[in-house]
Structure 1
Amino acid sequence: MNTFGLGALSIIPPGQIDQPLVATNAESWRSEINSFHYNIQIGEMTPTLFDVYDILGLSVVGEHVTCRPINALHKFIEDNLGIVPTEGNLTAIKHSWLKANFWELPPDASPVQIVKYTQAYLLFLISVTNFADASVATVPTRYLQFFEDIEQAHRYAWDAAALAYLYRLLGKACTFKRRHFSGSATLMQVIWNSYFKLDEEISDDRHEAFETVMCVTTLILHDIVEPYMPDHVCRQFGSKQGIPRNPLSVGKRYKRYGRQRDWRNVNSDKIHH
């Protein structure tokens, strides 16, 4: 999976969110800065880009996972997967259909078949890990565009996309707009060690990743834009908490309409930040 920039996703077992855990923290979540607010001794805490990097093995740098509009869905799916679902709305593909048609690679598979099976697997994989949605058993067809050339899949910032999705769904879950929490169960519930031990030898890659994820910025996934403010959770990293910045302005939070929007253009002012 590292070849495709998707780290350890393939070895993460299916998980379920501890709903009482999310409910307990519901009143502590502040969507304007995407962090949990506890008492004065603890301060604020939040899942960070470094958590995604450390736990899921996803790269902290890369192009934003922002979709272009797809007008001819039938042709788009056929060009990439070779076959097209005969039932349902083509804007999303059922997990059951992907399993039924791409579960096992034929022993005499051609190079073209291998690529299409890989595309289908990667599409399924991100929909049950990074972008898991407890309310449906489908994956948006638009995500298939990131695997049109599987050799280029690694160039995307899957780390930031996964966290943007988690932040958005945390906000919805904690304001009781959704009955079920969605997002990475692993990120929310894994038991992890401290970021760095005093006597630990830190690799250059890990140190560089840590410096990168400490920047204040916006996280983007298609139509989702979320503020990322690690300066609010310095205690989480074992550092002294200073005066944090004011919340970032990310503009209007679009509802899921206007599928033909080109979100690369809509979010262009934020992509360059």
Structure 2
Amino acid sequence: MASNGAVYEARSDRMNYKKKNNFRINESTKTLVKWELDIRLVALVEKTNLISWKDIGVTHIDCSLLRAFIGKWCKVTNTARLTIGEMTPMLYDLWHILRIPVTGEPVTGIRPKDYMAFIMEYLGDCPNDLDEARKYAWGATTLAFLYRSLSKVVDEDTYFSGSATLLQCWIYEHIPALGSKPTTITIEMPKVYKWKKQPRRKDLLTTFDDISINMVTWQPYEEYSLRDTLSKENTLCRSHLICFNIAEFYMPDRVLRQFGMMQAIPIGPLKWDRRVKVGLHPTSWIDELSAEISN
């Protein structure tokens, strides 16, 4: 159970959200249509393990649905506080929805003074060797940025800049009644392809107050388990998620039902300061969070 301080802060989060929920969802997947790759470029992108993004195309973002969900977000635990308990996107969800790697080295480093010089030094004018990119945990980076974006909106930021596509598809996977009939996909395809063209809805601000436990699909990816290259156990430990200058706490023990386990009363979140490096720094999160990263 969360401590009194955590409960108070969670209530404060919701009050802040009610004061200002007219934020912008800062995502447009229309630009992905312009991403035309020839055979040579496809081969290069495949080296990065990010090739699944190539075919996502346009996703219809339901802003009302996302605003309703964000109204339930608690930045203390990085979970949504629903009437049926806590839920949140996990690394295992991200792997199935986007099919980008969630394990590997953290995406972090020292902020360069000159980005163009930095790119030229490490990638060159026309990068031909991107093998190094596949060793990074791009999925963990995506989830860290999503968590931070959700918390910033709770704190009255005017832009939600996390992956709206990821969050929306996660909602549809776990609460399919909020979507319409999904598109049929093959077993190898990212789950995001199922939900690309869902209709937008209105007046959803109380939707998540009405969710019953029978409406929730706790483990939507079970039919894929035999062929999966990522086990749930590999994503079932507390850790930090790193996104360059962002560090977010990852607490799967608070949503054990999403892993097919019985949920006990969760222990309180660790006391830590939500930090972000701004400006130029001589050190990176690798230096500051070396112990957490190694674990």
Please name the residue that 2:267 is paired with. Answer: 245
Inter-partner Cα distance in structure 1 for 2:150 and 2:81:
14
**Structure 1 residues 209 and 73: CA distance shift in structure 2, 3 A:** same
Structure 2 gap ranges (5+) = 1-44, 175-216
- SS of the equivalent of 1:220 reads strand
1:93-149: per-residue Cα shift (whole Å, max 9, x none)?
Answer: xxxxxxxxxxxxxxxxxxxx462xxxxxxxxxxxxxxxxxxxxxxxxxxxxxxxxx5
Within the candidate set 176, 180, 192, 2:173 is matched to 192
2:284 counterpart of 1:262: yes
Inter-partner Cα distance in structure 2 for 1:161 and 1:240:
28
Q: Is the 8 A contact 2:246 2:275 kept in 1?
A: yes
1:248-268: per-residue Cα shift (whole Å, max 9, x none)?
Answer: 344451352335543321222
Please name the residue that 1:150 is paired with. Answer: 130
**Structure 1 residues 60 and 262: CA distance shift in structure 2, 3 A:** closer
2:270 counterpart of 1:234: no
The alpha-carbon deviation at position 8 of structure 1 amounts to 1.2
The alpha-carbon deviation at position 17 of structure 1 amounts to 4.4
The alpha-carbon deviation at position 15 of structure 1 amounts to 3.9
The alpha-carbon deviation at position 33 of structure 1 amounts to 1.2
Inter-partner Cα distance in structure 2 for 1:184 and 1:232:
22
2:225 counterpart of 1:202: yes
Q: Is the 8 A contact 1:19 1:181 kept in 2?
A: no
- SS of the equivalent of 1:37 reads strand
2:106 counterpart of 1:64: yes
Task: Point out the more displaced range, 224-233 or 253-262.
Answer: 253-262
1:223-265: per-residue Cα shift (whole Å, max 9, x none)?
Answer: 2111111111123344321121221344451352335543321
Please name the residue that 2:181 is paired with. Answer: none
Please name the residue that 2:96 is paired with. Answer: 54
**Structure 1 residues 69 and 22: CA distance shift in structure 2, 3 A:** same
Please name the residue that 2:241 is paired with. Answer: 219
Task: Point out the more displaced range, 152-161 or 253-262.
Answer: 253-262
Please name the residue that 2:160 is paired with. Answer: 181
Q: Is the 8 A contact 1:226 1:250 kept in 2?
A: no
**Structure 1 residues 252 and 13: CA distance shift in structure 2, 3 A:** same
2:47 counterpart of 1:25: no
1:190-237: per-residue Cα shift (whole Å, max 9, x none)?
Answer: 233753577x4732644x431111112111111211111111112334
Inter-partner Cα distance in structure 1 for 2:59 and 2:118:
31
Inter-partner Cα distance in structure 1 for 2:116 and 2:166:
35
2:161 counterpart of 1:166: no
Please name the residue that 1:272 is paired with. Answer: 294
> What is the identity percentage for the equivalent residue pairs of Structure 1 and Structure 2?
35
Q: TM-score, normalised by structure 2?
A: 0.61
Inter-partner Cα distance in structure 2 for 1:14 and 1:197:
23
Inter-partner Cα distance in structure 2 for 1:62 and 1:22:
29
2:50 counterpart of 1:6: yes
Please name the residue that 2:32 is paired with. Answer: none
Q: Is the 8 A contact 1:60 1:160 kept in 2?
A: yes
Q: Is the 8 A contact 1:227 1:249 kept in 2?
A: no
What is the aligned-residue RMSD (CA, Å)? 2.6
Inter-partner Cα distance in structure 1 for 2:63 and 2:163:
13
Q: TM-score, normalised by structure 1?
A: 0.66
Task: Point out the more displaced range, 50-59 or 16-25.
Answer: 16-25
2:61 counterpart of 1:38: no
- SS of the equivalent of 2:247 reads strand
Inter-partner Cα distance in structure 2 for 1:201 and 1:21:
27
- SS of the equivalent of 1:243 reads coil
Inter-partner Cα distance in structure 2 for 1:53 and 1:267:
24
- SS of the equivalent of 1:192 reads helix
- SS of the equivalent of 2:160 reads coil
